[in-house]
């Protein structure tokens, strides 16, 4: 039986964290990539979003993190290797120890502390994530 492309596309559920320290936000990107995203990763079966975010930070940076309040949800659709792709991002407040270096433990990614005033140059994806950083708290942002 032939299914439409949209029925064959999986929808991934991802936990992402907003970590801001000293006017900088922690961002992640694939090595050699031109866009950044909030740190985090896939929620595994049986995990909560907070548990997944804490686990991913331990695996990817080697830090003991705390996942705080759910800030919001971002749906995202795009094409990956020519195929439709969709994800639902659960976005949490993320706390890691102050002064943590942006060092990755996995060889395919890298982290950076980016000035909040320089978010446009970071090419943060999905673009809607930016609202968690710059919108007033009443509108779901952290900083205003």
- Within 10 angstroms of residue 127's Cβ, the number of other Cβ atoms is 11
* Phi, then psi, of 22 in degrees rounded to 5: 50, 40
Query: So which residues are the catalytic ones?
Result: 110
Q: What is the mean pLDDT of residues 10-38?
A: 93
Nearest residue to 5 (alpha-carbon basis) of 82, 62, 65 = 82
Specify the pTM. Answer: 0.86
Token reading at 69: 């309040």
List the domains of the chain with CATH numbers.
5-126 (3.90.79.10)
Residue 13's beta-bridge partner residues? 88
Region 116-142 average pLDDT? 78
Which pair of tokens denotes residue 90? 């659960």
Q: Where would I find the H helices in 3-134? A: 5-8, 49-61, 119-122, 131-134
Q: Is the pLDDT of residue 52 over 70?
A: yes
Contact yes or no for 124/35 (Cβ under 8 A): yes
Of 15-19, 32-36, 84-88, 94-98, least confident by mean pLDDT is 84-88
Residue range 60-115, pLDDT digits in tens: 999 999 999 999 999 998 887 888 888 999 999 999 999 899 999 999 999 999 99
């Amino acid at each position: 039986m032939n299914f439409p492309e949209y029925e064959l596309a999986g929808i991934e559920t991802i936990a992402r964290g907003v970590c801001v320290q000293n006017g900088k936000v922690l961002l992640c990107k694939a090595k050699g990539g031109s866009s950044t995203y909030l740190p985090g990763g896939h929620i595994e079966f049986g995990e909560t979003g907070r548990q997944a975010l804490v686990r991913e930070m331990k695996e990817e940076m080697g830090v003991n993190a705390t996942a705080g309040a759910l800030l919001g949800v971002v749906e995202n659709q795009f094409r990956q290797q020519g195929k439709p792709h969709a994800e639902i991002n659960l976005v949490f407040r993320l706390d890691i120890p102050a002064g943590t270096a942006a060092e990755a433990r996995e060889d395919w990614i890298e982290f950076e502390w980016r000035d909040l005033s320089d978010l446009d140059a970071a090419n943060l994806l999905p673009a809607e994530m930016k609202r968690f950083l710059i919108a007033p708290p009443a509108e779901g942002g952290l900083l205003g």
